[in-house]
Amino acid sequence: MTKDFLKPPFGLDDVEILERESLYKGFFRMECLHYRHKRYRGGWSETISREVLFRGDAVGAVLYDPANDLIGLVEQIRPGAFADPNGPWCLEVVAGMVEPGETTEAVVWREMQEEADITPSHVEYICQYMASPGGCDERLHVYCALANLDGLDGGVSGLDEEGEDIRLLIIPAAEVFAELYSGRFNNAATMISLQWLQMNRPRLQQEHR
């Protein structure tokens, strides 16, 4: 079986950025990039102009208790989901942005304290992916964090200075997986980590025993 698809024929050296036009700089940054690139059929493309949202790297981690077969998720309001049929309060994995000089695993430990007031016993890396590379540079690193979740449902946390109002939900794994495609878990980091957990749940339980 060939693995040629794992290495694309072009790289960053095959792109020429002609101009970076600053459009906005606030909580996020947006630029219009004017560029050209090599083409599969040979030669170079015409100049292409695209707006790109720059967010940087982020981390998400699903909480799992293998002893009690419980999953921990957080719920908070999200302005990008105001028009979502389920409403703007989203069920998500614990998540946060990577600060300069910070490792992705360090973000897991920090955000677990800030958003869920929990210290995991162990964290396991799942994968990384780009959220929407057609117009955003954000790369998400997804983890699974193991912890004792028994009796923790309903806690409220978050940083007041960042306007966070976050509720912790502890749900039996079977109930989560039964509703996995109901639309309630409507963001990629949560879906990816829950699908990974669904496949790796027996192994995690066995390792705990």
pLDDT of residue 156: 80
Q: d(Cα 84, Cα 144) in Å, to the nearest integer? A: 27
18 and 77 share one domain: no
| Statement to judge: residues 103 and 15 lie in one domain | no
Lowest-pLDDT range of 1-10, 13-22, 198-207 = 1-10
Does residue 122 share a domain with residue 29? Answer: no
At residue 27, the pLDDT reads: 83
Predicted model pTM: 0.88
17 compared with 161, residue with greater pLDDT = 17
Q: How confident is the model at residue 116 (pLDDT cuts 50, 70, 90)?
A: confident
What does the pLDDT average to over 107-130? Answer: 93
Element (H, E) at 208: helix 188-208
Could you tell me if 146 and 93 lie in one domain?
A: yes
In this predicted structure, what is the pLDDT of residue 160? Answer: 66
Q: Is residue 3 part of a domain?
A: no
| Residue 180 counted as domain residue | yes
Q: Are 158 and 164 within 8 A, CB to CB?
A: yes
Residues 117 and 173 in one domain: yes
- pLDDT above 90 (res 44): yes
Report the range of poorest mean pLDDT among 25-29, 134-138, 190-194: 25-29
What CATH number has the domain bearing residue 70? 3.90.79.10
Instruction: Let me know whether 86 and 40 are in one domain.
Output: no
Q: Is the pLDDT of residue 71 over 60?
A: yes
pLDDT, position 159: 66
What is each CA distance from 139 to 81, 94, 134, 155, in whole angstroms?
Answer: 20, 16, 12, 29
Could you tell me if residue 30 is inside a domain?
A: yes
Total structural domains in the chain? 2
Instruction: Look at residue 151 in the predicted model and tell me its pLDDT.
Output: 84
Query: For position 2, what pLDDT does the model report?
Result: 65
Confidence of residue 87 (pLDDT cuts 50, 70, 90): confident
In a shared domain, residues 83 and 173? yes
User: Do residues 184 and 122 both lie within one domain?
Assistant: yes
Mean pLDDT rounded to a whole number for the chain: 92
Q: What pLDDT is attached to residue 163?
A: 67
pLDDT value of residue 86 = 86
Q: Which residues are catalytically annotated?
A: 162
Residue 85 included in any domain:
yes
Domain-terminating residue out of 54, 70, 90 = 54
Residues 29 and 76 in one domain: no
Same domain? 167 vs 115: yes
Is 46 inside any structural domain?
Answer: yes
- Looking at the domain assignment, is residue 5 inside a domain? no
Same domain membership, residue 61 and residue 43: no
Regarding whether 161 and 106 lie in a shared domain, the answer is yes
Query: 208 pLDDT band (50/70/90 cuts)?
Result: confident
Query: Is 82:125 a contact under the CB 8 Å cutoff?
Result: no
Residue at 47 is within a domain: yes
Q: Would residue 1 count as lying in a domain?
A: no
CA torsion sign, 83 to 89 to 90 to 94? positive
pLDDT tens digits, 159-188: 667 667 889 999 999 999 999 999 999 999
User: For the ranges 132-141, 148-157, 165-174, which has the lowest average pLDDT?
Assistant: 148-157
User: Which range marks the domain in which residue 73 is found?
Assistant: 57-208
Rounded Cα distance between 113 and 77, Å, is 19
